[in-house]
Amino acid sequence: MFRFANPNRFMNWSGKLLPWCAAATAILLIVGTYLALFVAPPDYQQGEAVRIMYVHVPAAWMASFVYGVMAASSAVALIWRHPVADIAAQQSAPLGAGFTLLCLVSGSLWGEPMWGTWWVWDARLTSVLVLFFLYLGYIALVNAFDEPTRGARAGAILALVGVVNLPIIKFSVDWWNTLHQPASVFRIGAPTIAASMLWPLLIMAVGFTLFYVTLLLVRMRSALMAAKLRALRLQEFQAA
Amino acid sequence: MSAFRLLIARDLRLAMRQGGDAAMVVAFFILTVVLFPFGVGPEPELLQRIAAGIIWVTALLAALLSLEKLFQTDYEDGSLEALSLLPLPLEFQVLAKCVAHWLVTGLPLTLVAPLLALLLHLDPAGYGALMLGMALGTPILSLLGAVGAALTLGARRGGVLLSLLVLPLYIPVLIFGVAAIEASIGGFGARPHLLILTALLVLASGLVPFAAAAALRQALE
């Protein structure tokens, strides 16, 4: 882990990794979308609307996953003062907020024909909405200080406090009797989803994950470059 | 533990002398609740239906009002730095500050709540759950608020930011506080909801001091 603490070394290997990640993302998302839209069968109850699931479910997984990444990097940044982990956490936040919004909007579009309502106040939906607000609060807090390191430190603590929400999201469908259906893929025993639907879903999920990794690397690289640029300008200033 | 008690006494004395913090919070609580009959109409059936929600939501907002000053004045006049040099760990100091904050805001809110419930025609069966729920829930509000107040020390637009950070974390307290009242009115018994509130209180008082103390330390650096 400490080998990656050097920003120059990070720029080196991330530059080499980036094209591969981008290519894999493009292939997986194209294949996954094709399978989801044309190959996977329509559901016997939901009809064609089930295809929204191939976007909704990966987005929902990513919403929690990105928060997990953010919290883990925040912990690493707080404990070992790891500069690259700090940047990883900060640059993950807008991506996570985007995935959460996509999850909420796609779920809402699915809910209208299926449940007959755009929104219900059940435990799963409410806890994901709280997750969205946590992302927004984190972004606002990081940017609220004149001194960037203070913002980073305060944000890291907030990210760790917000972790309590993740198990609530995961288990909300088991603890409360909600309208949202319980898990059908990650559960004890075999998945209850048919294989013809599971495969497109998994390909989409891996595609979403790589999409996140690609965007994260791009954002981290540009943040590091911006910081270096600022330092160079300051040097020029002081020399003049 | 005498330092712990002294710290509580100090905060209470400051609150008394600066005057009216508790009075302001209670006044805000009453005034805001009184706005609702004007807003939604004075029909007793309607008010009775939404009384629990109004009281709890307004209590959250009232608790939020006074949070900004929890560490702010100590931070600005430098006494926070002096306090951080005490042998008493910062975690316990946070806890002492939360106790003092609860005594000045949460306790008066809890005591006024039944009066407001009367104004809103709350079902008599709900009074016990309201009082118990408020007694268990308002300390959680002070504790969670302490994390937000410590994190936003020295931030630009600290007050607005504080509400953005803290209100999402308040949602569970609101849910179980209202559910306890609804359950006891419906005849199911408020016990499970009150037990969950107790669990939340225990968890918060165990974990919050560490988070808030970490936030204070990075603010003092």
Per-residue pLDDT tens for B84-135? 888 889 999 999 999 999 999 999 999 999 999 998 988 888 899 999 999 9
Is the pLDDT reported for residue A1 higher than 70? no
Picking from B170, B145, B148, the residue whose alpha carbon sits closest to that of residue B57 is B170
A118 contacts A108 by C-beta, under 8 angstroms: yes
Q: Is the predicted pLDDT of residue B66 greater than 90, yes or no?
A: no
Contact B155 A137 (CB under 8 A): no
∠ Cα A141 A143 A148 (to 5°): 110
Q: Considering only the beta carbons, identify the residue of B158, B167, B211 that sits closest to A157.
A: B211
- Count of Cβ atoms closer than 10 Å to residue A238 Cβ: 7
Among partner residues B156, B157, B215, which is closest to A154 by beta-carbon distance?
A: B215
Q: Would you state the pLDDT for residue A218?
A: 95
Say which residues have a Cβ less than 8 Å from residue A111's Cβ, sequence separation at least 6. Answer: A117, A118, A119, A120
Q: Which residue has the higher pLDDT, A162 or A49?
A: A162
Q: Which ipTM was obtained for this model?
A: 0.82
Q: How far is A36 from chain B (nearest CA, A)?
A: 35
For position A9, what pLDDT does the model report? 86
Scanning B66-106, the segments in alpha helix (DSSP H) are 69-76, 79-84, 90-101
A86, A160, A161: best to mutate for the B interface, most B CBs within 10 A: A161
- How much is the average pLDDT of A85-96? 93
Distance CA A60, CA A58 (A): 5
A113-147: pLDDT as tens digits: 888 888 877 778 888 998 999 999 999 999 888 88
User: What are the residue ranges of helices labelled H in A116-164?
Assistant: 123-142, 148-161
Task: Say if CB A127 and CB A169 are below 8 A apart.
Answer: yes
Please tell me the predicted confidence (pLDDT) of residue A123: 78
CATH of A20-38+48-180+193-235, one of 1.10.150, 1.10.10, 1.20.120, 2.10.240: 1.20.120
| B167: chain A residues, CB-CB within 8 Å | 133
pLDDT of residue A197 exceeding 70 = yes
Q: If you write DSSP's letter for every residue of B49-72 in order, what string do you get?
A: HHHHHHHHHHHHHHHHHTTTHHHH
Between B179 and A174, the more confident residue is B179
Question: Quick one: closest CA in A to B211, which residue?
Answer: A157
The stretch A58-74 carries a mean pLDDT of: 93
**Per-residue tokens: A141:** 């807090």
Domain boundaries, chain A: 20-38+48-180+193-235
Is B174 an 8 Å CB contact of chain A? no
Q: Which long-range contacts (CB under 8 A, 24 or more apart) does A68-73 make?
A: A68/A163, A68/A166, A70/A96, A70/A138, A70/A159, A71/A159, A71/A160, A71/A162, A71/A163, A71/A166
Q: Which two tokens stand for residue A238?
A: 């002081």
Give me the residue from B161, B171, B214 closest to A144, CB to CB: B161
pLDDT for A188 equals 60
Q: Do B171 and A160 touch (CB under 8 A)?
A: no
* Contact assignment for B171 to A126 by CB distance below 8 Å: yes
